[in-house]
Amino acid sequence: MLTLALHTAMAGCDVAIQRDGTVLANLSEAMRKGQDARLPGLVALACEQAGVTLEEVERFGVVTGPGSFTGVRVGVAFARGLALATGVPCVGVSSLEAALPDGQQGSAIVLLPAQKRPPDITYWAQTFRSGAATAPPEEMPLQAVADLLNAHPHMVFGNATALQEILPDLSVRVAQPSAARAAALTAVFDPASHPPRPSYARAPDAALPGGKSLA
């Protein structure tokens, strides 16, 4: 299956194209804003590098968050537009699913920093069993994550520097969301159960005019 996935949920703009597990293109540019202007050109460049057209893509994928409010919405809107224009399915992949390495067995948790300023340090967290999510993403205070890991040990992936200060023996395997991982999951996820819907894991700080829904 030929898949194209987007990731603009963090401080970057990533596009990956895969066919049956083989990466054909994987482009990434660091940026905190301006993804909406850069994304069309980066998608075109990825297609050129992969030697494919958008009409050949069999499924689109997008990292749906949690992450930057604006970045999440940019990626989701663009992916939905591509799917609508080409008439193929679009799959949503959470930021934490897109960070978990392939082939993970046993109990795992992915942690990504949400609020980084003391005393309100929080993490976005999602638990997994043999690679499959066992719960949706949620935002958890630092101490709540520590209590969870003390009560139910997990293999930890992600970025958890603040957590390691209160759990000095904690081993964390560094992992970040990527469009390449999202492209691989896009091929196996069911579009019906993984829709391209923004996931904030909390009420977003930004608001749309007129009280419109953020989903």
Give the residue ranges of DSSP H helices in 66-169: 69-86, 142-151, 161-166
Confidence (pLDDT) at 206: 47
Q: Residue 91 pairs with which residues in a beta bridge?
A: 61
- Say if residue 85 is in the same domain as residue 127: no
Mark whether 90 and 124 lie in a shared domain: no
For 131, other C-beta atoms within 10 Å of its C-beta total 15
In percent, the amount of the chain with pLDDT more than 70 equals 94
**Do 89 and 76 have their domain in common?**
yes
Among the listed ranges 6-20, 36-50, 159-173, which one has the minimum average pLDDT value?
Answer: 159-173
Q: Are 72 and 78 in contact (CB under 8 A)?
A: no
193 in any annotated domain: yes
**Contact in structure between 122 and 146 (CB atoms under 8 Å):** no
Residue 50 shares a structural domain with residue 149: no
Strand partners, 22: 19
> Taking Cα atoms as reference points, which of 176, 178, 182, 175 lies closest to residue 5?
182
Convert the pLDDT of each residue in 184-208 to its tens digit: 999 999 999 999 999 998 744 444 4
> What are the backbone dihedrals phi and psi of residue 4, each rounded to the nearest 5 degrees, phi first?
-130, 125
Domain that holds residue 119: 107-174
pLDDT at 127 over 60: yes
Most trustworthy range by pLDDT among 53-57, 119-123, 143-147: 53-57
Q: Is the pLDDT of residue 3 over 70?
A: yes
Is 70 within the bounds of a domain? yes
Q: How many domains does the chain have?
A: 2
As given in the structure block, the two tokens for residue 67 are: 């992450």
pLDDT at 37: 96
10 and 88 together in one domain: yes
Asked whether residue 101 is assigned to any structural domain, the reply reads: no
Write the pLDDT tens digit of every residue in 146-185.
999 988 889 999 988 878 887 888 889 999 999 999 999 9
SS3 category, 24:
strand
Q: Give the residue ranges of DSSP H helices in 18-68.
A: 35-50
Q: Are residues 75 and 153 in the same domain?
A: no
169 and 181 both lie in a single domain: no
Q: Is residue 102 part of a domain?
A: no
